[in-house]
Amino acid sequence: MTAAALYDLSGKRVWVAGHRGMVGRALLRRLSREAVELLTVPREELDLTEGAAVRAWMRRHRPQVVILAAARVGGILANARRPVEFLEQNLRIELEVISASAELGVEKLLFLGSSCIYPRDCPQPIREEYLLTGPLEETNRAYALAKICGLELCRARRRQEGRDFIACMPTNLYGPHDDFDPETGHVLPALLRRFHEAKSRGDTEVVVWGSGTPRREFLHVEDLAEACLHLLRHFSDEIPINIGCGRDLTIRELAETIARITGYRGRIRFDPARPDGTPEKRLDISRITALGWRPQIPLEEGIRETYRWFLAHHTARAADGAEQMP
Ligand code: GFB
């Protein structure tokens, strides 16, 4: 049985900042089952990096709860190629939304960090207190530093002003509405698409980046959304909290699983010229499980469901390799 909530969400005006992304959409789906008033604003109407506009919009809509899911995100290559945008856009969004939330009296704010902000060579599984205890992974240093600043902005507002601003560290996420672009996306959607296209074309070889030996943990975005609601209700602490499933696998194992699910039977070739990134980053999830949350979607089932979603939404345009995310 879950303990009584620390914070009662019912009847609250909840703003999901970043509602068009994979995480934001999952949060909206989950929140639509709650007795809350949902607030969203399209990017064309509000640029979250513009402080005055953010404050004017918030004054008009008076959110009581803010979930900051808006961020510039991408896979290992996008991070390595565009450090300026990953650093600047994320810093600006965090600064404006978190400071405006404090100034305008938001009751509860949840900031989403990432497991990649831990030091590169952390002991496994990674406990929350390892944050800032060692050098970062080079390929996503800019993004990691921006996210660390977001955590610190929440902590500073808690310490100095007593705000109930909390932060979480999700592991690598996947699910519907992910970025399936093979160049910019994360490994799971990128491989789903690459293997699917190889099977459709009858290719005999698929190239997977790196050595295949790095280990990664994956969490379905529906599980993440559930965890976020759970934290809003049951968590209030200045130390950010991990969200993961506690299990990892190698990229080779992931590729073999995806090959099986997509029905691809050819060869898998690893390309060592591409970066491996962090060797491993499995989260210790004992703090969040002690609060009564547990992941529900096993990886293989989640990948199958995501593949069905991809087939339903992408294949018409995927064939020419020029699609945009819906
Ligand atoms: O998902 P991914 O880009 O993110 O890559 P990270 C994970 C691993 O998969 C790396 C390998 O070892 C890649 O070399 N990989 C193999 C591939 N084939 C592919 C492919 O086709 N595409 C991609 N993308 N990878 C990101 C960070 O790190 O994790 C972000 O850069 C963010 O900042 C995110 O935090 C959660 O796990 O390495």
Q: How far is the CA of 236 from the centre of ligand 1 (A)?
A: 31
Q: Name every protein residue with a CB atom under 6 angstroms from any ligand 1 atom.
A: 75-77, 79, 114, 116, 139-140, 143, 172, 182, 185-187, 190-191, 208-210, 214, 216, 251, 274-278
- Predicted confidence at residue 326, as pLDDT, reads 26
Q: Measured in angstroms, how far is the CA atom of residue 158 from the centroid of ligand 1?
A: 33
CA 149 to centroid of ligand 1, rounded, Å: 22
pLDDT in tens, 209-247: 999 999 999 999 999 999 999 999 999 999 999 999 999
Sheet containing strand 108-112, strands side by side: 37-39, 13-17, 65-68, 108-112, 164-170, 241-243
Q: What percent of the chain has pLDDT over 70?
A: 95
Rounded CA Rg of the chain: 19
Catalytic residues: 143
Whether 321 has a pLDDT exceeding 50, the answer reads no
Mean pLDDT of 133-139: 96
User: Ligand 1: which atom is nearest the Cα of residue 78?
Assistant: 31
Q: How many residues does the chain have?
A: 326
Taken in order 19, 24, 30, 35, the sign of the CA dihedral is negative
| Closest residue CA from atom 35 of ligand 1 | 116
Is the model's pLDDT at 98 over the cut of 50? yes
Q: Is the pLDDT of residue 320 over 50?
A: no
CA distance 84 to 63: 31
Cβ(182)–Cβ(194) under 8 Å? Answer: yes
* Best mutation site among 76, 169, 195 for ligand 1 pocket (most ligand atoms within 8 Å of CB): 76
Q: Please choose from 112, 120, 126, 186 the residue to mutate so as to test ligand 1's pocket, defined by most ligand atoms within 8 A of CB.
A: 186
> What ligand 1 atom has the least distance to the C-alpha of 194?
21
- The 10s digit of each residue's pLDDT in 167-201 is 999 999 999 999 999 999 999 999 999 999 999 99
What are the Cα distances from residue 262, in Å, to 188, 198, 200, 210, 308? 12, 10, 10, 21, 10
In the predicted structure, residue 318 carries a pLDDT above the cut 80: no
Q: How far is the C-alpha of 238 from the C-alpha of 231, rounded, in Å?
A: 13
249-269 average pLDDT score:
98
User: How many angstroms separate the CA atoms of 148 and 117, rounded?
Assistant: 7
Mean pLDDT (the chain, rounded): 95
Q: What is the pLDDT of residue 322?
A: 32
Tens of pLDDT, residues 1-32: 456 889 999 999 999 999 999 999 999 999 99
Q: What average pLDDT does this structure show over 115-123?
A: 96
